Structure 1
Amino acid sequence: MIRLSLLLLLLSRPAYSMLLGWVESPGYPTGYLPHASMNWSRCAQKGHTLSIKLIHLDLEDSHDCENDAVKVFSNGNLISVLCGKREFEELQSTVNPSLLSSPGGCLSLTFHSDYSNTERHTGFRGFYSEQDFDECKDDPDNGCTQFCHNYIGGYHCSCRHGYYLDVDKHTCTVSCSKDLSGLYNGDISSPSWPASYADNANCQYTLSVEATLQLELHFSEDFDVEQSPDGQCIDALSIETPSGILGPFCGHTLPPSPFLTHSHRVKIRFTSDGFGTNKGFSLHFKTRDKVCPAVVTSHSTVTPQQPEYHEGETVTVTCDLGYVVNTDGNQTLSNQYVAICQNTGVWTPNYVCEPVDCGLPDIPEGGILQLVDSDNIHSQYKDQIQFNCSSTYYTLEGDDLYTCSAIGEWVSGGGETEMPKCIEVCGKPEKYRVARILGGEDAKLGEIPWHLLIKEPNRGGASLINDRWAVTAAHVVETAEETSLRLYGGLVDGKTIRDRFSNVVIMDSERIIIHPDYNKGTPCSTSNFDNDIALIRLASRVNLGPNLLPICLPEVNSVDEQGTVSGWGKAESKTGSVKLYTSALLKYAHIGAYPLTKCQDTPSAPTANERMTFTNNMFCAGADGKDSCQQDSGSPFVSPMLTEGNEPYHLTGIVSWGPPCEEKQYKGYYTKVANYVDWIKETIDTVEKSKKGER
């Protein structure tokens, strides 16, 4: 009869079945074989744990159980490694208590033996079972703030009288929220006032009256809301109006009393945590006519200044320095407006004073000048931007740091509003060679990087003076069409132009500007080369590099006695004969300027009996066995001499004319560039401004 009752009791249990049974090594109890292994795993149901209780353990003993071993894992984490022989009492006291899963977790077990044993070992046996996990007793983080009730597979929380269970089903709180709309006066206090307020309180008191009235709060002096030693609010009182949230208030410091809310709608919130014995707060509320506040909008001042304003009174609102009026989403240039106090306690209009926005600076896209950290630019009042040049072949002219000013302009530390410029580094070749055209040396690539070659319509040279302009002799380009002239740079061997794999830079002209006072003609029909200078605007900017760099312009009216002339013109035969040939390689020679008297002794014109004209816009130069020659026209004469350490170099002269090289007078005439610096700069500036206007 007892067995039958027990059977009926088991059948009447909940639908799920308890997890229990035996786990043992292969061949137990007769002994396991070499190379034996097994894997076992079980998982507990939600709210339950799974345990293994070993009743027998007899395995080969080894260091760190490296031979034969049984390993137990909880949710994949190793919790026990066993080997050797253990008595039942030791298993019960030191091993089995740790073979336990987490609630709803899994236990797994592995066993292995090595290749041989010196004696027979019976193995292991254990009993596994599932049991309910008591969250109320064994889980300190169950979350119940008052009462915890355990049941098989879970738990639930409950509260003392006067509290209710919050939506999280764990926190006990009090019912303290009230809607007091329509009341013109009354009292509000923390729960249980004047006794200590309840734990986990979350109270909201709603007040609402006519729009022409405002609510006035009077706090009692017994203000006591929990505060941390460092002044942070643990429990808190806050006052919410349509214009914002005031507070939080805590400690023993009373909010201003009477507290003018300037609103006919107010929400008073009070929250507390699960600890503390503070008293709380109490207040009396009533109503009065609305007045307008002393502040119309932030970042502004008002005139006249009063603590409060009544219906119909007007003020002038002045935005702070660096702020302007925003009317309906549009920033204006004004920083003032007039506002009128309404009977509802609001100012009309009530525009916003917002920071002046300078916008992004106007710099050309894809140019050398660039903003530092351009993806993180802020352009409001007092924000700063920084410039640099994207290429090492340029230097920044002007300040690099600009600040957004109160008038909406970017201003540098020096007071400049014009953006800085990236100016080409000029006259500084990266390659040098100390050495001593007719009688000249072959130049190496990069030694004279500003020298450009012109092949048609007249063979000659030109000098790069920035990344968009070149200068040459007027007579070299006077017959060329403005957009058909082609120049070559970044080379010393003219034959490489035909090599499609070379790094020669090919430049096309966009405009040719010959000096307006140049005496036009041809070398064979004129005796006057005064003002023999022309500017060439390239069709696109060139990419500067070690083999293509500009030469500096000289100072106005500067004089240099020594220099270096270079060119692809006629050169003297190596045999020393008078026979000349056109050089494929760029040659250069160091020469000096001659005295004025020698320059005035000019040769005769090629096709006339009159002598060539020498003017103050020229100088002549040469040296024994060294001179410029035919087809060098337009090429540069730079000063000082092209030797290491003399940089920067300046374009002192342009090869213009001279006696035939066959006569070996070694005296060439050069356009004096110092006399034309102002014309060059003014012409370039005028053209670039017109181009910018076209865009």
Structure 2
Amino acid sequence: MLSACFNIISVCLSLPSLSHLLCLSFSLFLAPSLSEGVSQMFGLVVSPLFPQGYPNNVLETWDIAVPPGYAIQLHLTHLDIENSENCEYDFLKVSVDGVVLSTLCGEKSFSELRSTVNPALYSTLGSMRLTFQSDFSNTERHTGFSAHYSAVDINECDDPYTGCSHDCSNYIGGFYCSCQPGYLLQEDNTTCAVNCSGEVFSSLLGSLSSPSYPGLYPENSACSYSLQVEEGFQLVLAFEGVFDIESGERGACVDSLRIRAGGREWGPYCGNVAPKDPVVTNSNHAEVLFNTDGYGANKGWKIKYTTKAKTCPDFVTVNSVLEPKRPVHQFKDQVRVTCNKGHEIVIGAKAKHHFDSWCQKNGVWSDIEICEPVDCGPPKEIDNAELKFINESSPTTYQSQIYYECEAPYYQINTDGKAQFTCEADGMWRSSDGKLDIPHCIPVCGRPSNPLESIQRIFGGKPAQLGNVPWQVFFQSPRGGGALISDRWVLTVAHMAQVDQPYIYMGFLDARNLGQGVKLEVEKMIIHPKYKRHLGDSSQYNYDNDIALVKLKGKVKMGPNVTPICLPQSEEEGQPELGKIGFISGWGRVKPRQTGKIPVSPVLLYAKIPVAKTQSCTDVKPTGPEIQKEKFVITDNMFCAGMPGVDSCQGDSGGGYAFQGEDSVFQLKGLVSWGIECGSYGFYTKVVNYLDWIRDTMAANED
């Protein structure tokens, strides 16, 4: 876009006839070049070669612009363009922002242009485009057009969309907005808003309200009120008085009130019903934000705020109690925290049960320590039992429970069934009756895995099967027997215990294959102190107190072929009753005394014999003259048993005489001791007479 330029040119001439210079001044009009753009207050635009006549095949465009805040008025002073229907061939087109204001051709007078054409050539946008076109031939010469443009001031204040909230003032080239007293012009330079931000409320109680409350609050407001009180207190905000904030038809907030504190936001609030419940911020800092639009006539709101000391939870840590117990624990309160029963605070290798704590300004207790359940540690393992935990998730902590399950059917608990223990508050495992003693699994006695056949009357030896007599012990040299009475003790007769290191076995049947059994390592042999040892090769006649205990080096593992026999529990229970039938067993002689080698049984035999009168034993006649039966000492510590043709014999000494009770449990009431002759009646050590000695000796020799 180009505008015309007017330059003043001065020319001075020196003439001989004059004594001074002759200076002439004149104005020269310069038409703008077609290739330049113009952004000025005024200018001139003409068609190519004006006024000589424009050439053919011309297409020329001029973009006119004036400074912001002005409109453009175009004044055509000359128009001579080839005429055609709808200006199809040659024309001048005037447009603004793509919208055509006028398309001109033909010839018009100056007055006609001024009255009918020029008034329409006006742009409030401050820009305009002129386009001139000529076709390939003109039958006549046409001079074209000439036009002036000028910048015209706009009164923006007449435009309802100018945007001034309050007052609008126009000046040449622009306008400005101003606000009524009490309002501030915002950064957009059009909006007026109340100065209602930046105020800080720091007292422990007070009130705040919308601008002009209870009058109408101003439009276009963005108010921010800050409440900041001492740490350790929390703000509580409650609405009072008139509440009137503009809302839409469906309740949506047009103007809004919000409260922000502690990372939370309450609101937006609007309408004419105030929130009923106070806003408990749980913070010492809050912001009240009030925003309004440009319309409306509402009275606003009022808030009364108070403070209360920051509160802490009613517990400090889990599994504990605190003292003193108050309805509410506030900032600066001090309490003592005591762990609940069965809980403690573990610090390294030490433990304690309480600590002191203070309610801090942030509502959190200080110096928090953890009350952990007391840990009793892993319970003691016991032999021949499986330890089972009832509480799998926390197996060893307070109130956790365990129980011991002995290996059935060969072991049982030794505490009357009290095999369950609880981890108590003192960190100890205790049984249901409060005892600390860890139980033991003791062998089940008197219950063979393969019970002896209950045939009414079998008098005579019969081969035993595995599990028939699982308490039977075999002494290799001298050949004899014994009865296992616990997992560590064997009971036998004293005259079998006079060797230093006997070889003893059990859990087998055939003495020719001792490897099938269990070898028992002997720790010591304890003969009854009142037993009189027999010395020399002469016959022995005194078997009083013929009883001994053999302590093993280690505990024997119980199983189907190795279990102990029960001892009588009382004197009454242990008395052998006349006529009662019991079992004897062993690897002894199987034939009466005779010259030559004494035949012994290679396999374990058992027989059933009754308790007999003492006279039955004393009436037995010896087969050899070397036996003087009148010399035998007979006491109350022995009893007679047997039947003609059925008896124990050499090689059976020390073996047990077992009786089966009504509960099917076998008890040891006698030990094979001596007899005048084999194959008839014999004497057995009366075990019941030695119960106290047996128990005391075993107890005195426990590890």
TM-score, scaled to structure 2: 0.51
What is the deviation of 1:359? 2.0
The answer to whether structure 1 residue 496 and structure 2 residue 509 are counterparts is: no
What is the deviation of 1:507? 2.1
The answer to whether structure 1 residue 566 and structure 2 residue 585 are counterparts is: yes
What is the deviation of 1:496? 2.0
What is the deviation of 1:625? 1.3
The answer to whether structure 1 residue 671 and structure 2 residue 685 are counterparts is: yes
Structure 2 counterparts to residues 17-36 of structure 1, below 5 A: none
Tell me, yes or no, if the aligned pair for 1:379 and 1:404 is still in contact at 8 Å.
Answer: yes
Which residue of 2 is the match for residue 474 of structure 1? 494
Paired with 1:573 and 1:336, the residues of 2 have a C-alpha distance of: 84
What is the deviation of 1:634? 0.9
1:298-355: CA deviation from partner (whole Å, max 9, x where unpaired)? 32223332245689875443322222x31524463x6445557788977676443222
Paired with 1:296 and 1:440, the residues of 2 have a C-alpha distance of: 80
Amino acid aligned to 1:446: G
Which residue of 2 is the match for residue 383 of structure 1? 400
Correspondence for 1:649 among 666, 670, 695: 666
Paired with 1:522 and 1:606, the residues of 2 have a C-alpha distance of: 17
Paired with 1:346 and 1:592, the residues of 2 have a C-alpha distance of: 86
Paired with 1:586 and 1:434, the residues of 2 have a C-alpha distance of: 18
Which residue of 2 is the match for residue 617 of structure 1? 637
Kindly name which structure, 1 or 2, has the bigger radius of gyration based on alpha carbons. 2
Instruction: Using the TM superposition, name which of 395-404 and 576-585 deviates more.
Output: 576-585
The answer to whether structure 1 residue 555 and structure 2 residue 569 are counterparts is: yes
Which residue of 2 is the match for residue 511 of structure 1? 524
Paired with 2:518 and 2:643, the residues of 1 have a C-alpha distance of: 32
Amino acid aligned to 2:638: M
What is the deviation of 1:640? 3.1
Structure 2 counterparts to residues 556-595 of structure 1, below 5 A: 556-557=570-571, 558-561=574-577, 562-572=581-591, 580-595=598-613
What is the deviation of 1:183? 11
Amino acid aligned to 1:563: G
Paired with 1:487 and 1:284, the residues of 2 have a C-alpha distance of: 100
What is the deviation of 1:396? 3.5
Paired with 2:668 and 2:260, the residues of 1 have a C-alpha distance of: 77
Paired with 2:355 and 2:398, the residues of 1 have a C-alpha distance of: 20
Structure 2 counterparts to residues 187-586 of structure 1, below 5 A: 213-214=231-232, 216-218=234-236, 258=280, 294-307=314-327, 315-323=335-343, 325-330=344-349, 332=351, 335-336=353-354, 350-364=368-382, 367-371=384-388, 378-397=395-414, 398-431=417-450, 432-435=452-455, 436=457, 439-456=460-477, 458-481=478-501, 485-497=502-514, 503-522=516-535, 524=538, 527-557=541-571, 558-561=574-577, 562-572=581-591, 580-586=598-604
Paired with 2:596 and 2:396, the residues of 1 have a C-alpha distance of: 70
Paired with 1:489 and 1:530, the residues of 2 have a C-alpha distance of: 27
Tell me, yes or no, if the aligned pair for 1:185 and 1:285 is still in contact at 8 Å.
Answer: no
The answer to whether structure 1 residue 659 and structure 2 residue 679 are counterparts is: no
Q: How big is the alpha-carbon RMSD for the aligned residues of Structure 1 and Structure 2?
A: 4.8
Amino acid aligned to 1:570: R
Distance 1:614 1:345, change over 3 A: farther
Tell me, yes or no, if the aligned pair for 2:391 and 2:401 is still in contact at 8 Å.
Answer: no
Paired with 1:453 and 1:493, the residues of 2 have a C-alpha distance of: 10
Distance 1:292 1:592, change over 3 A: same
Paired with 2:626 and 2:404, the residues of 1 have a C-alpha distance of: 56
Paired with 2:599 and 2:696, the residues of 1 have a C-alpha distance of: 39
Residue 423 of structure 1 aligns to a residue in which SS? strand
Tell me, yes or no, if the aligned pair for 1:569 and 1:582 is still in contact at 8 Å.
Answer: yes
Paired with 2:634 and 2:235, the residues of 1 have a C-alpha distance of: 100
Structure 2 counterparts to residues 140-155 of structure 1, below 5 A: none
Residue 590 of structure 2 aligns to a residue in which SS? strand
The answer to whether structure 1 residue 681 and structure 2 residue 695 are counterparts is: yes
1:56-97: CA deviation from partner (whole Å, max 9, x where unpaired)? xxxxxxxxxxxxxxxxxxxxxxxxxxxxxxxxxxxxxxxxxx
1:576-596: CA deviation from partner (whole Å, max 9, x where unpaired)? 999852221222221122235
What is the deviation of 1:286? 9.1
Residue 492 of structure 1 aligns to a residue in which SS? coil
Instruction: Using the TM superposition, name which of 520-529 and 395-404 deviates more.
Output: 520-529
What is the deviation of 1:508? 1.9
Paired with 1:530 and 1:384, the residues of 2 have a C-alpha distance of: 52
What is the deviation of 1:218? 3.4
Paired with 2:321 and 2:421, the residues of 1 have a C-alpha distance of: 28
Which residue of 2 is the match for residue 60 of structure 1? none
Residue 234 of structure 2 aligns to a residue in which SS? strand
Residue 213 of structure 1 aligns to a residue in which SS? coil
Paired with 1:443 and 1:384, the residues of 2 have a C-alpha distance of: 45
Paired with 1:259 and 1:220, the residues of 2 have a C-alpha distance of: 11
Paired with 1:259 and 1:675, the residues of 2 have a C-alpha distance of: 89
1:334-388: CA deviation from partner (whole Å, max 9, x where unpaired)? 6445557788977676443222222222123x63343368986611122222321
Structure 2 counterparts to residues 126-165 of structure 1, below 5 A: none
Identify unmatched segments of 5+ residues in structure 1.
1-179, 187-206, 223-236, 246-252, 267-282, 691-695
What is the deviation of 1:491? 1.9
Distance 1:618 1:304, change over 3 A: same
Paired with 1:437 and 1:577, the residues of 2 have a C-alpha distance of: 29
Residue 591 of structure 1 aligns to a residue in which SS? strand
Residue 352 of structure 1 aligns to a residue in which SS? coil
Amino acid aligned to 1:657: W
Tell me, yes or no, if the aligned pair for 2:346 and 2:372 is still in contact at 8 Å.
Answer: no
What is the deviation of 1:635? 0.6
Distance 1:411 1:239, change over 3 A: farther
Which residue of 1 is the match for residue 152 of structure 2? none
Tell me, yes or no, if the aligned pair for 1:318 and 1:335 is still in contact at 8 Å.
Answer: yes
Amino acid aligned to 1:548: V
Tell me, yes or no, if the aligned pair for 1:369 and 1:389 is still in contact at 8 Å.
Answer: yes
Amino acid aligned to 1:530: D
Residue 470 of structure 1 aligns to a residue in which SS? strand
Residue 326 of structure 1 aligns to a residue in which SS? strand
What is the deviation of 1:443? 2.1
Identify unmatched segments of 5+ residues in structure 2.
1-197, 205-225, 244-258, 265-274, 287-302
Amino acid aligned to 2:466: L
What is the deviation of 1:460? 0.7
Residue 677 of structure 1 aligns to a residue in which SS? helix
Tell me, yes or no, if the aligned pair for 1:430 and 1:546 is still in contact at 8 Å.
Answer: yes
Tell me, yes or no, if the aligned pair for 2:565 and 2:667 is still in contact at 8 Å.
Answer: yes
Distance 1:312 1:213, change over 3 A: closer
Distance 1:396 1:350, change over 3 A: same
Residue 475 of structure 1 aligns to a residue in which SS? helix
Amino acid aligned to 1:378: P
Paired with 1:301 and 1:516, the residues of 2 have a C-alpha distance of: 65
Residue 631 of structure 2 aligns to a residue in which SS? coil
